[in-house]
A and B are shown apart, each in its own frame.
Chain A
Amino acid sequence: MKVPATDPNTMDAPTPDDALHLVKGEGPIVAADGRPLKASLRRALRREKLRALGLVAPLLIFVLVSFIAPIADMLFRSVENQIVADTLPRTVAALEDWDYSSGEAPGEDVFAAFYVDLSEAVALKTHTRLGTRLNYEMTGMSSLFRKTGRRVGRFDTDIYADQFAALDPAWKDGAAWMEMMSAPGIESVLPETASAWQSWLRILENEGDDPAEETPADFVFTMLYRDLARGADVSAYNGPGADRLAAAAAAVGGFETVSIKEQFLKADKDWGDPEVWGVIQTFSPPYTPGYFLAAVDLKLTPHGIEKQPEEQQIYVMLFNRTLFMSLVITGACILLGYPVAYLLSSLPLRTSNILMILVLLPFWTSLLVRTSAWKVLLQQQGVINDILVWLGLVDDANRLILINNQTGTIIAMTHILLPFMILPLYSVMKTIPPSYMRAAKSLGATNWTAFWRVYFPQSVPGIGAGSILVFILAIGYYITPELVGGTSGTFISNRIAYHISSSLNWGLAAALGTILLGVVLILYWLYDRIVGIDNVSLG
């Protein structure tokens, strides 16, 4: 415990720095080459820093690519919601004018926009994904989209194509359309048609067809009719096919029409439900708090933020359970690990090595094997129950339920995480010289007082390190609760895994994971405030 007198307060001799001042006198100090000393020191340090950076660069890049980037991407998914605006761009724009509180489904314009969007989505097969996404917010959305997707190609809107073709057969000619739609200024004359034409081009590109050889789909004709019926200023257009367009514009007044809204309602009457449109409108922005709200048993509805129905509120309870059980496991690890670490640190080296191997042995065994072994031990017809029954401590009819509940998770996880408590404790205890206990006893302290007042405070950094390690590992544990936890002993991570691999609701999984990460960081911060992170020693 010898402390050299390097403390500036205890030294009265000049430090090397002072000495320079003393020698050079006042004014900035200059290095041998005439540059200011500070500048050349910075230069020298920079070179060293660059060298250090070069040494860690490979690891840094590896961590960045394999750890930081995926996590950042995953966290980003918890708020990302571009799928609605990407799949239904026109509908989202059209819905801006619609007021949900009116209590009525939107008008023909929205349905027209939706018709084009959905037609493109069906052809590109993206409508089912959108349906799945919206189904998280409202059940039935997935099947609604799927069902309508099958119908949308068979809408009665084919009458428009026929009526235009009756005016001039060239309307059925893809090459003529091509020519007209690529003329400058057409977008301002026929905005909806031009927009629908772009969708048509994307569909054909996806299928590998040449637009010059294909008759455009019904939705293109429908949009053409809408543009003309609205009284488009066709005289402003004088490109190819201007005559044909002018003739059509003159004739549309007499066309037989069909309501797109009616068509959708015929396909599924749910499209008349303002709730459906409310959900689409609510989730149209590219970023949404919806996943985070769902992760704390709330939901974003067109009316605002609401509680989830009682039977679907599970996440807050799961978070609480995860925190509580992690605390219990950490506490159990301290209670079981402290005496072992104490013994390890006080035994002679040869004996303590053997004991240390026993502590580490589970480390070298597969996690899965150990957890499965607990299944064998803990089940109702398992070893522990058999022994208890044989000893007569437990009645054969009332065997203890030790597995597939919280007890099972706590027992198995305490066992698995115990080495993470023992090792930091041991490495701290080993540095506590036995002379402290002797000194305390020679000063009149009983064994217990000497331990509690002198030894224990010095082992606290080990408890801190072990607890942080065990708690953080426990809070994110997955395999063991999955195998021995049943329904009452599972953790939030099991739910995250479910959303990642079964329900495929990655956004919610990401939100749950982000909250978990946030909780850990907050606890870490609290620990730093209360105990001080400097008091943590890993040896």
Chain B
Amino acid sequence: MAAEASDDAFVVFERVQKSYDGETLVVKDLNLSIGKGEFLTMLGPSGSGKTTCLMMLAGFETATHGDIRLGGVSINNIPPHKRGIGMVFQNYALFPHMTVAENLSFPLEVRGMDKATREEKVKRALDMVQMGEFGGRRPAQLSGGQQQRIALARALVFEPELVLMDEPLGALDKQLREHMQFEIKHLHERLGITVVYVTHDQTEALTMSDRVAVFNDGVIQQLDPPDVLYEEPQNSFVAQFIGENNTLEGTIEAIENGIARVRLDHGELIDAVPVNVNKVGERTRVSIRPERVEYNPERMPPDAHTVRAEVLEFIYMGDIYRTRLNVAGNENFIIKTRNAPDQRRLKPGEVIEVGWRPQDCRALDA
């Protein structure tokens, strides 16, 4: 899944490998190029190698093999302080013995800027994150969200072209996290900087990124814009990891004209888009998004494929209804329906017909 090194690539990982113990590879043959001004998110479960990649880029880990280039220059042997990369840490790492203004002034001081310039830049950076009033405070006197803003301002104050963020919102509560997502996104758009963002939160990744790299087991499983990632997952790991997903297991019976016929283990025969299955007789997992399943006969698309289902549980969640069904032997088949005035609430025990369009149904590896 190597992204071809295009001409405008700003950050390039080329055949990068990393091993800590000499026995297992944490990062296996990573190829990735990030364009200038791009917001790229590395998404994956813990231990998938995403943070290691970030640390190699920042210079705190060295690649066991391969080449990392920044602006066309190999940075393998450049120490972290000479890379000029801004970084926001998971716990902010604001220096507790310095005031907010001193924290922001630090990167300017070590660059030998004079006092007037420093004060000018610190003020501008604080205003940028709407924290102009807080220059004299200590980090411990700030709330989590405020500390987050200061950490962001500190990473940006020396005007780096590349900013790395290592799960920066992990310690915030849900509401603040959503708010900060937009602020970071807007800052990125306004300043035109390149951002590499690491998270294990898929909604965060989908909300903020230009492209998302899904990591698992030291390998990028898929690298795509958020909508493509969600709608067209390339394998069952990505389908499972991004968003909610219903799977039905079965065997390929035929592949013709870009349609795969799948015989489910329960007996039904359904149509699906073949993604990474290619021969008859192969085991497959068919993936359908919960919100693409319809049960209201009036709204059923004309080419829909319908299956009989039994309602097991109905959960009212405010904006949506979430219904658990037994479909083709899968008792965890979820459907989500919008809470509309004309929508019918299903009752446990009801037997209904559910259906979906064959193009929303993807046959993936088992």
Contact status B95-A436, CB under 8 Å: yes
A454 at interface by CB-CB < 8 Å: yes
B residues less than 8 Å from A42 (CB atoms): none
- A444 near B93: Cβ-Cβ < 8 Å: no
The distance in angstroms between the C-alpha atoms of A446 and B141, with both chains bound, is: 28
A435 in complex: contacting residue of B79, B93, B107, B164, CB < 8 Å: B93
Contact B144 A3 (CB under 8 A): yes
Chain B residues closer than 8 Å to A206, beta-carbon distance: none
Cβ of A439: which chain B residues have Cβ within 8 Å of it? Answer: 87, 89, 93, 95
B53 shortest CB reach to chain A, Å: 15
- A457 to chain B: closest residue by CB: B97
Say how far A443's CB is from chain B's closest CB, in angstroms.
4
Chain A 441-462, CB-CB to B under 8 Å as 1, else 0, gives 1111111011001100110000
CA of A450 to CA of B109, assembled, Å: 12
Closest-CB distance, B60 to chain A (whole angstroms): 6
Q: Which single member of A3, A438, A457 contacts B142 (CB below 8 Å)?
A: A3
- Interface assignment of A5: CB less than 8 Å from any CB of chain B: yes
Bound: A7/B82 CA distance, A = 39
A2 within 8 A of partner (CB): yes
Q: Is A365 an interface residue (CB 8 A)?
A: no
Q: B257: CB under 8 A from chain A? A: no
B84: chain A residues within 8 A (beta carbon): 444
**Residues of chain B contacted by A457 (CB below 8 angstroms):** 97
CB distance from A534 to the nearest CB of B (A): 13
Closest chain-A Cβ to B27's Cβ sits at a distance in Å of: 19
- A412-451 vs B: 1/0 string, CB under 8 Å? 0000000000000000000001011011111111110110
B154 is an interface residue with CB less than 8 A from chain A: yes
Alpha-carbon distance A441/B154, docked complex (angstroms): 13
Taken together as a complex, chains A and B put the C-alpha atoms of A536 and B42 apart, in Å, by: 42
- CB contact list, B34-74 vs A, under 8 A: 58-60
Out of A1, A4, A435, name the residue touching B139 (CB < 8 Å).
A1
Interface 1/0 per residue, B131-142 and A, CB below 8 Å = 000000001111
From B87, B94, B154, B164, residue with most partner A Cβ within 10 Å: B87
Binary flags per residue of B75-114, CB closer than 8 Å to A gives 1, else 0: 0000111111111011111111100000000110011000
Task: Name the one of B87, B96, B110, B141 contacting A445, with C-beta atoms under 8 angstroms.
Answer: B110
By a CB distance below 8 angstroms, the chain B residues around A440 are 95, 106
Q: How far is the CA of A466 from the CA of B145 in the complex (A)?
A: 36
Residue in A closest to B82 when the chains form the complex, CB atoms: A444
Contact of A458 among B60, B80, B85, B96 (CB under 8 A): B96
In the assembled complex, how far is the CB of residue A59 from the closest CB belonging to chain B, in whole angstroms?
34
Contacting residues, chain A, for B94 (C-beta < 8 A):
1
In the assembled complex, the Cα of A436 lies from the Cα of B164 at a distance in Å of: 16
Cα of A454 to Cα of B107 in the assembled complex, Å: 12
Q: How far is the CB of B15 from chain A (nearest CB, A)?
A: 25
Residues of chain A with a CB closer than 8 A to B142's CB: 3
Contact A445 B81 (CB under 8 A): yes
Number of interface residues of A (CB under 8 A): 26
Measured CA separation A197–B107 after assembly (Å): 93
- The tally of CB-CB contacts under 8 A between chains A and B is 90
Q: Does A101 contact B (CB under 8 A)?
A: no
Say yes or no: A443-B171 contact (C-beta < 8 A), given A1-B91, A1-B139: no
> In this assembly, does B147 line the interface, its C-beta being within 8 Å of a C-beta of chain A?
yes
Q: How far is the CB of B96 from chain A (nearest CB, A)?
A: 7
With A3-B144, A5-B143, A454-B95 known as contacts, the answer to whether A442 contacts B80 (CB < 8 A) is yes
**B106 shortest CB reach to chain A, Å:** 6
* CB < 8 Å neighbour of A441 from B80, B96, B140: B80
A436: contacting residue among B82, B93, B155, CB under 8 A: B93
Per-residue contact bits, chain B 159-193, to A (CB 8 Å; 1 contact, 0 not): 00000100000010000000000000000000000
Given A438-B80, A438-B89, A454-B95, verify A443-B144 contact (CB < 8 Å).
no
- B10 interface residue, CB < 8 Å from A? no
- Chain A residues near B97: list those with CB within 8 A: 457-458
Q: Which residue of B lies closest to A432 (CB)?
A: B96
Is A10 on the interface with B (CB-CB < 8 A)? yes
Residue A453 contacts which of B89, B106, B141 (CB distance < 8 angstroms)? B106
Does residue B158 face the partner (Cβ distance < 8 Å to A)? yes
Tell me the complex Cα distance, A27–B140, Å.
Answer: 37
Assess the B93–A3 pair: CB atoms within 8 A.
Answer: no
A442 touches B91 (CB 8 A): no
Contact between A3 and B106, CB atoms less than 8 A apart: no
Instruction: Kindly report which residue of chain B lies nearest to residue A436, judged by CB atoms.
Output: B93
Please determine whether B147 and A3 come into contact, CB atoms closer than 8 angstroms: yes
Complex interface: chain B residues within 8 A of A454 (CB): 95
- Report whether A441 and B81 are in contact in the complex, using a CB–CB cutoff of 8 Å: yes
Is there contact, CB below 8 Å, between B58 and A442?
A: yes
Q: In chain A, what residue has the closest Cβ to B104? A: A443
What is the minimal beta-carbon distance from A388 to any residue of chain B, in angstroms?
41
Q: Which of B60, B80, B90 has its CB near the most chain A CB atoms (within 10 A)?
A: B80
Query: Contact: A2 with B171, CB < 8 Å?
Result: yes
> Please, which residues of chain A bring their CB within 8 A of the CB of B140?
1, 3
**Residues of A with C-beta under 8 A to B85:** 442
> A449–B80 Cα gap in the complex (Å)?
13
Q: Which residues of A contact B90 (CB under 8 A)?
A: 435
Residues of B within 8 A of A450 (CB): 81
Partner of A443, one of B59, B107, B147, B164: B107
Q: How far is the CA of A236 from the CA of B345 in the complex (A)?
A: 127
A341 to B35, CA, bound (A): 44
A438 touches B60 (CB 8 A): yes
Residues of B within 8 A of A446 (CB): 81, 110
Task: Tell me whether B92 and A1 are in contact (CB under 8 A).
Answer: yes
Which A residues are in CB contact (< 8 Å) with B91? 1-2, 433, 435
B139 contacts A442, CB within 8 Å?
Answer: no
A168 to B111, CA, bound (A): 114
Q: Which of A186-220 contact B (CB under 8 A)?
A: none
Q: Which residues of B contact A453 (CB under 8 A)?
A: 106
Q: A440-B106, A444-B110 are in contact. Are A7 and B141 (CB under 8 A)?
A: yes
**Residues 250 to 286 of chain A near chain B (Cβ within 8 Å):** none
B20 to chain A, nearest CB (A): 12
Docked CA distance A133–B342 (Å): 110
List residues of chain B with CB within 8 A of the CB of A3.
Answer: 140-144, 147
A443 to B171, CA, bound (A): 22
B62 to chain A, nearest CB (A): 14
Instruction: Kindly provide the distance from the CB of B279 to the nearest chain A CB, expressed in whole angstroms.
Output: 49
Roughly how many angstroms separate A3 CA and B94 CA in the complex, as a whole number?
12
Q: Which residues does chain B contribute within 8 Å of A442, judged by CB atoms?
A: 58-59, 80-81, 83, 85-87, 155, 164
Instruction: Decide: A443 and B58 in contact? CB cutoff 8 A.
Output: no
With a cutoff of 8 Å between Cβ atoms, the chain A residues found around residue B171 in the complex are: 1-2
Give, as a whole number of angstroms, the nearest-CB distance from A347 to chain B: 16
Instruction: For the complex, give the distance between the alpha carbons of A433 and B307 in Å.
Output: 56
Q: List 23 A-B contacts (CB under 8 A).
A: A1-B139, A1-B140, A1-B171, A2-B91, A3-B140, A3-B141, A5-B143, A7-B141, A436-B93, A438-B60, A438-B87, A438-B93, A439-B93, A440-B106, A442-B80, A442-B85, A442-B164, A443-B154, A443-B155, A444-B81, A444-B107, A445-B110, A450-B81
What 10 A-B pairs are tightest by C-beta distance, nearest first? A439-B93, A443-B107, A442-B87, A435-B93, A441-B80, A457-B97, A2-B171, A5-B143, A445-B110, A441-B81
15 A-B pairs besides A442-B164, A443-B81, A443-B110 with CB distance below 8 A are A1-B91, A1-B171, A3-B140, A4-B143, A7-B141, A433-B93, A438-B80, A439-B87, A440-B106, A442-B59, A442-B81, A443-B107, A443-B154, A445-B107, A453-B106
